[in-house]
């Protein structure tokens, strides 16, 4: 495969975006997942629905409203301008924020499911041993729910790599700034450069396949380990 300099720049920018978004989502998604897994509040349903909305919402719809919110006349845009940060649309920071919203269910839901699967017993035992909340999280929840966190990181990263609609709405098509792989493929097709589009698209297909293969292999390994220890 022969990648042009523009292709390589788009690949590098995509990897930077996916890595940044995954780290941010693990940081902010973990407390959301914890709350959803542990709360009995009536707000659990509405919050769960909001988190899961990107699964069914067209990306252009989400991108459109984020564009309005972060634009010069939007609430977020006015805040960032008052702080001297300018506006976020058509910047890498804007892409990160939009991607965090769009990939959130792919990170929150696996972590939530892993925490729910633990039940209350391990935390109650840790509490009887005088472990504080942070201690219980890092020494009990995190090790026992590790498969859920790994799955969340893999899915969040892979989903961000494959974004198009939200990225195009918020980031546009600025070389070296917002032009990611999916947009670069679109540009090649528009220019009738099918050979270069094929090379990038094939690399994306290979990436997706191996990510899913690794994920299913990891889940199978974890299932086998649980069966061994359970026996």
Q: In the prediction, which pLDDT does 216 show?
A: 79
Give φ, ψ of 130 to 5 degrees.
Answer: 70, 30
Q: Which CATH class is domain 5-223?
A: mainly alpha
Q: What is the largest CA-CA distance in the chain?
A: 67
Q: In the prediction, which pLDDT does 230 show?
A: 42
Per-position DSSP letters for 94-109, written without gaps between them: HHHHHHHHHHHHHHHH
Do residues 65 and 146 make contact, with C-beta atoms less than 8 angstroms apart? no
Rounded to the nearest 5 percent, the helix, strand and coil shares of the chain are: 80, 0, 20
Chain length of the chain: 231
Sequence-ordered list of residues with C-beta below 8 angstroms from that of 106, at least 6 positions apart, any chain: 152, 155, 156, 159
Do residues 140 and 131 make contact, with C-beta atoms less than 8 angstroms apart? yes
Angle at the Cα of 7 from the Cα atoms of 66 and 65, rounded to 5 degrees: 5
Q: In the prediction, which pLDDT does 1 show?
A: 65
Where do we find the tokens 């990107």?
54
Tokens of 209: 């396949």
pTM (global) more than 0.75: yes
Q: In the prediction, which pLDDT does 14 show?
A: 92
Q: In the prediction, which pLDDT does 229 show?
A: 34
Integer Rg of the chain from CA: 20
Sequence-ordered list of residues with C-beta below 8 angstroms from that of 122, at least 6 positions apart, any chain: 140, 141, 144
Do residues 11 and 181 make contact, with C-beta atoms less than 8 angstroms apart? yes
Give pLDDT < 50 ranges for the chain: 227-231
Where do we find the tokens 């892993």?
114
Per-position DSSP letters for 106-130, written without gaps between them: HHHHHHHHHHHHH-SHHHHHHHHTT
Q: In the prediction, which pLDDT does 205 show?
A: 87
Tokens of 190: 């528009």
What DSSP character marks residue 192?
T
Q: In the prediction, which pLDDT does 97 show?
A: 93
């Amino acid at each position: 495969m022969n990648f042009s300099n523009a292709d390589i720049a788009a690949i590098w920018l995509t990897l930077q975006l996916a890595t940044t978004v995954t780290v941010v989502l693990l940081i902010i998604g973990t407390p959301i997942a914890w709350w959803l897994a542990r709360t009995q509040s009536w707000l659990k349903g509405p919050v769960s629905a909001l988190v899961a909305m990107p699964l069914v919402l067209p990306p252009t719809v989400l991108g459109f409203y984020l564009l309005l919110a972060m634009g010069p006349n939007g609430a977020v845009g006015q805040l960032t301008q008052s702080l001297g940060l300018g506006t976020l649309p058509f910047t890498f920071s804007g892409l990160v924020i939009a991607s965090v919203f769009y990939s959130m269910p792919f990170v929150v839901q696996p972590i939530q499911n892993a925490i729910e699967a633990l039940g209350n017993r391990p935390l109650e035992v840790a509490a009887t041993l005088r472990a504080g909340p942070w201690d219980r999280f890092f020494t009990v929840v995190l090790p026992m729910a590790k498969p859920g966190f790994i799955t969340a990181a893999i899915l969040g990263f892979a989903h961000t790599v494959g974004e198009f609609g939200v990225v195009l709405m918020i980031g546009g098509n600025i070389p070296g700034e917002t032009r990611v792989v999916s947009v670069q493929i679109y540009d090649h097709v528009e220019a009738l450069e099918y050979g270069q589009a094929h090379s990038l698209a094939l690399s994306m297909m290979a990436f997706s396949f191996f990510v899913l293969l690794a994920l299913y292999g990891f889940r199978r390994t974890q299932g086998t380990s649980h069966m061994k220890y359970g026996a």
